[in-house]
Amino acid sequence: MRGLTDLDLALLRAARTAGHTPARERTVRWFSRSGEHGLLWVAFGLAGARLDPRRRRAWRRAAATVALAYLANQLVKLAVPRERPRLPGLPGLIEVGSRRTFPSAHATTSFAGARAYAKLGVPAAPLYTLAAGLAASRVWLGVHHPSDVVAGAALGTLIAS
């Protein structure tokens, strides 16, 4: 277990120090905020429902899957009281609403959204690229351990499957 914790911290430290400039940090903060509470993914599903009336129910069901993934994530966070990472001299770069970190809600909702919309025929590569980017942004900004993101991605994928 100690080896996994050490690996988690080493990856977090690497992400938190690699390639950081004020401009990149502003851009990644903006990008990361777009994934808050899975609203980007829900909005995508509702837009799909509006633009594709023939499959409106399927689009709404996919959007509801993202909302369900967010709810499940919050329930797991209540059961697993892991706190956000703290690296000396490297504070998190974005405000967060909770001190609970496991699993990452960005990863959970993003991977649930990617899976749900790919099942509707939306090309998987851009969906999963967006999901991975949103999930990774949380580690790069220093507000999640890498294992929080991996667990969130697994939870979201499971729920959408």
What pLDDT digit, counting tens, does each position of 49-78 carry? 999 999 999 999 999 999 999 999 999 999
**What are the residues whose beta carbons fall under 8 Å from the beta carbon of 131, sequence distance 6 or more?**
107, 110, 111, 113, 114, 153, 156
Residue 100, SS3 per DSSP? strand
Q: What is the CATH number of the domain that holds 111?
A: 1.20.144.10
Q: Which amino acid is at 146?
A: P
Q: Is the pTM of this model over 0.75?
A: yes
Q: Which amino acid is at 114?
A: A
State the Cα–Cα distance between residues 56 and 52, nearest whole angstrom: 6
Tokens of 157: 């994928």
For the chain, the domain total comes to 1
Which of 17-26, 41-50, 126-135 has the weakest average pLDDT?
A: 17-26
Q: Which amino acid is at 102?
A: F
**Does the structure show a pLDDT above 80 at 2?**
no
What residues make up the domain containing 31? 2-160
pLDDT tens, position by position, 104-155:
999 999 999 999 999 999 999 999 999 999 999 999 999 999 999 999 999 9
| Confidence band of 48 (pLDDT split at 50, 70, 90) | very high
**Does the structure show a pLDDT above 90 at 95?**
no
